[in-house]
Amino acid sequence: MTDKNVTNIMPDASEIVHYDRQDFPVYIKDDDLSEYPGGKALCHWHEDIELICIIEGMMNYYVNGKTILLTGQDCLIVNSRQLHYGHSHLRQGCRFICVRFHPRILGSSPAVFKDYVAPFTDNHRIEYLHYPADSPNHKSIRESIIRMLSLKTGQEAAFELDITSTLYSLWRTLFCQCRDILTKDTVTDDSDLALQKKMVSYIYEHYQEPLTLGQISAFANISRSKCCLIFRQYLQQPPIDFLNKYRLEVSRNLLATTSSSITEIALSCGFNHLSYYSKIFFREYGCTPTRYRNSRQGP
């Protein structure tokens, strides 16, 4: 049994995207932010392009430290390799469609990929594209996302061809919109953002160890104060809070999918004291580890 809405993270902080078919790199889901603990997904990045379409409610979406409030019928397109996550707005629920696809699905022709895909995905000027309801191209972007969900749900013969065709059409819209940006010289990745990704990767890889602020900052070769400033800028929380929330997320998955004792799980996730683990687990999820396990595994 796997717990619903657990984001699987690699040691380099990239998400393991579970495609609907492993040989067809597209993931499409009608999702609800209220089903995520605390209404928040884990901070991560991936090679995939991510498309978000709001169906009902509103949410904050963080991309490289920038906050985008998505409301009404807004759509958002997050470029490849951006540090991002979604978070509930004022504790409200939000139903949305999420589509992720690997750029290689647009690479049937090397020349097409070189001329029309790589200039977009490799351009650091393009972190995301926000489409409020009254913006140009909003209607076509939204219709494309809804159409792909409908195609996946219907599962009619050769629906993958229709999804691929829809992605090519959507990509043409994006490329034409960003043509002026793509003709400019590509800027280098922001140094602080690169450091943030590096420190997040370090935490994901060493969360089981007794990490300190000094160790996290030393790994990035910066001062502890600089480390805290970067975490505040990009993730809106101190480094140790981020570390503990990731430990809690890992423990939550272990509670739901293993028979290990709660003490064993707490220790394996880097918590030295069961009482402290239980306290912050309750504060984060509103229930004890035991109650959470029972709700996921049954009697």
Res 82 pLDDT > 80? yes
Look at the domain 191-297 and name its fold.
Arc Repressor Mutant, subunit A (1.10.10)
d(CA 298, CA 146): 35
Structural contact between residues 97 and 55, judged by C-beta atoms closer than 8 angstroms: yes
Where do the domains of the chain lie?
26-182, 191-297
d(CA 135, CA 163): 24
How high is the pLDDT of residue 190? 64
**Nearest one of 78, 35, 72, 47 to 57, comparing CA atoms:** 72
Confidence at 12, pLDDT banded by 50, 70, 90 = very low
Structural contact between residues 222 and 195, judged by C-beta atoms closer than 8 angstroms: yes
The listed CATH number (3.40.640.10, 3.40.50.200, 2.60.120.560, 2.60.120.280) that belongs to domain 26-182 = 2.60.120.280
Q: Which residues of 154-163 are buried (b: 16+ CB within 10 A; e: fewer)?
A: eeeeeebebb
83-117: per-residue pLDDT in tens? 999 999 988 889 999 999 999 999 888 999 999 99
Structural contact between residues 163 and 157, judged by C-beta atoms closer than 8 angstroms: no
How high is the pLDDT of residue 264? 96
Res 152 pLDDT > 50? yes
3 state SS of 37 = helix
The burial of 98, by beta-carbon neighbours within 10 Å (0-12 exposed, 13-18 middle, 19 or more buried), is given as middle
3 state SS of 164 = helix
**Nearest one of 186, 214, 212, 233 to 63, comparing CA atoms:** 233
Q: Give, as one character, the DSSP assignment of residue 9.
A: B
Structural contact between residues 6 and 258, judged by C-beta atoms closer than 8 angstroms: no
